[in-house]
Structure 1
Amino acid sequence: MRIPERHEFLGDYVRRAAKGEFGVAAFQRPFRWNKRDVEAFLGSVTDEIPIGSFLTWRLTSEQRAAGRLSKGRIGPVVHDPSAEILVLDGQNRLSTIVWAARRPEAPLDPECRYSAEEIEVWLGDEVLVADVEERRMHFVPSVAAKSSKRYPLGEVMAAAHLGIARPLDLLSGMEAAGISDGDFNWFFDELPHFFRAKKTVVAEICDATAEEAFDVFLRICKTGVAISDEDVEEARKWMIPAEASGS
C-alpha cells in the first residue's frame, strides 16, 4: 500500500467530480452539512482560508470489476460503476459545489438515497446564490434567486467554470435579471477564479485492499477529539482580554 500526497487546484478537482469521475466509498457516511456549513465553506474559499485536504482511494482493475465499493453517486451526479477513484474524506466539500452546479439534474429516486441533510439543503425551497453586492455565496428563497445583484451559483459555475453549460445562455439570463455590465466580471471571472486558484492537498491510497483503505479512513477521521462549543467559548474568553490589552 502507498499513500502519496500532492497539491491540486480545487477547481480542477471539482470539475472532475461534477463530470462523474469520482465515486464515494460505500463505507462513507452520508452528506451531513447544513446550510450554515455550506456557506461557511464557500466563505473560506473566497476569503482564501485553507479548506483542508482530501483523502481518496484509487481502485485496482480487479476492485473496479468486482463493484460494490462505491455508493454510486457524489451529490446528484450518478457516476460510472467502474469509477477508478473513490472519495474517503472530503465528500461534503466536493458535494457542495457539485450539488450547486447540477441540482436541476438530481434524480428523483437514486439507488443511494438522499440523506435528510441533502433534502433539507439542496431539495428545499431555497437556492444557493452568488451575490455581487455582498461579495459572498448564500441561500435565498428560490423566488429571489435572480435579481440585479445575485444569480444562482450553480448556473454561474456550470457555465463559467465547469464547462457543462453555455456561457452565452448564462449571459442572456443575467441580462434578463437586470445584472449590469459592470458586475459581469465578478460573476464570470473573479468568482470562478477563487475556485480555480484555490490549492488543496490530496492524499491518495494506492494498491490497497478494502480493509487497508478502511483502516486509513478510520485513522484519519477518528483520531483526536472534535472541538466542542464549550472549548470555543473558553478560547473566546481568552482572546477578548488579549485583544483589549493590545497583546
Structure 2
Amino acid sequence: MMAREPVKSLPDASKAEKDTWLGGERLVLDYASHSIKFVPAEESDRGLRLPAWTVLSNADRLAQSVNKEISLESSMQFIYSRWNGEWTKRFKSSDVDDFIKLWEHSCNRFREARTTETIIDNATVSEARHAFLRICRVGVPISQQDFDKAISWMHNI
C-alpha cells in the first residue's frame, strides 16, 4: 500500500501475494465507491482517485528512507497538484471538496488505527483458533468463520 511505483517483482512471495501485488492493478482511494480498492493500472488516474499511499502519514518518510538520493513529492504536494490542475477543470468543486474530506477522513482512520500482533509458535490450527478466540473476547471480536478464512488463505500461500 505504501509503494509509490508499481511493484515489479517479489522473489520470495507466495502465489497469492504475487496475484495480489503483481496483477497489473493499483490500490487507490476512490471517490465513486468511497473506498480503497484495486483498479486496473490504466484506470488508476481516472475520476477522483488518489494512490493509496497518500492516506498513510508515514508513507513520505518511508519512501525517503528507501531512496535517499531523490527528493520525493509529498502526499500534500501530490494532492495539491491534482486539486489545482486537472480536477478543477474536470469536476464540480463540491465533488472535489467532498473527495478531499473523504481523503482526510481516510488519513485519520489510518492514523487512529491500533493493531495487535500475537505470535503463537508450535500450535495446531485448533490450538491457535482457541487462543485467538480467547484473546478477541477482550479486544476486537473475531468470528470463528473469519479465523477459518484467514487460516485457509495462509494454507494457500
Instruction: Please classify the TM superposition score into its range, dividing by the shorter chain length.
Output: 0.5 to 0.7
Q: Which runs of 5+ in 2 are unaligned?
A: 62-72, 131-143, 147-157
Q: How far apart, CA to CA, are the structure 2 residues paired with 1:105 and 1:138?
A: 15
> Aligned residues: percent identity?
19
Q: How far apart, CA to CA, are the structure 2 residues paired with 1:129 and 1:147?
A: 11
Note the 1:13-162 alignment, pairs <5 A.
100-102=1-3, 104=5, 106=7, 108=9, 110=11, 113-154=12-53, 156-157=54-55, 160-162=57-59
For residue 5 of structure 2, what is the amino acid of its counterpart?
A: P
Q: How far apart, CA to CA, are the structure 1 residues paired with 2:109 and 2:29?
A: 12
Question: Residues 108 and 136 (structure 1 numbering): CA distance in 2 closer, same or farther, change over 3 Å?
Answer: closer
Q: Is the 8 A contact 1:101 1:157 kept in 2?
A: no
> Secondary structure at 1:190's aligned position in 2?
helix
CA RMSD of aligned residues (A): 3.2
Q: How far apart, CA to CA, are the structure 1 residues paired with 2:113 and 2:34?
A: 17
Report the equivalent of 1:197: 112
Q: Whose RCO is larger (CA < 8 A, sep 6+)? A: 1
Report the equivalent of 1:163: 60
Offset of residue 145 of structure 1 = 0.9
Q: Is the 8 A contact 1:148 1:177 kept in 2?
A: no
Give a deviation string over 1:179-209, Cα, whole Å, max 9, x none.
654022321x211111111223344x7xxxx
Determine if the alignment matches structure 1 residue 218 to structure 2 residue 119. Answer: no
Q: How far apart, CA to CA, are the structure 2 residues paired with 1:169 and 1:152?
A: 10
Question: Residues 123 and 107 (structure 1 numbering): CA distance in 2 closer, same or farther, change over 3 Å?
Answer: closer
Q: How far apart, CA to CA, are the structure 1 residues paired with 2:6 and 2:39?
A: 20
Q: How far apart, CA to CA, are the structure 2 residues paired with 1:153 and 1:109?
A: 19
Q: How far apart, CA to CA, are the structure 2 residues paired with 1:163 and 1:136?
A: 21
Question: Residues 161 and 148 (structure 1 numbering): CA distance in 2 closer, same or farther, change over 3 Å?
Answer: farther
Q: How far apart, CA to CA, are the structure 2 residues paired with 1:161 and 1:109?
A: 22
Matched residues, number: 113
Determine if the alignment matches structure 1 residue 185 to structure 2 residue 84. Answer: no
Offset of residue 176 of structure 1 = 4.0
Q: Which runs of 5+ in 1 are unaligned?
A: 1-99, 206-215, 229-247
TM-score normalised over the length of structure 2: 0.55
Q: How far apart, CA to CA, are the structure 1 residues paired with 2:7 and 2:110?
A: 23
TM-score normalised over the length of structure 1: 0.37
Give a deviation string over 1:10-31, Cα, whole Å, max 9, x none.
xxxxxxxxxxxxxxxxxxxxxx
For residue 191 of structure 1, what is the amino acid of its counterpart?
A: S
> Secondary structure at 2:5's aligned position in 1?
helix
> Secondary structure at 2:38's aligned position in 1?
strand
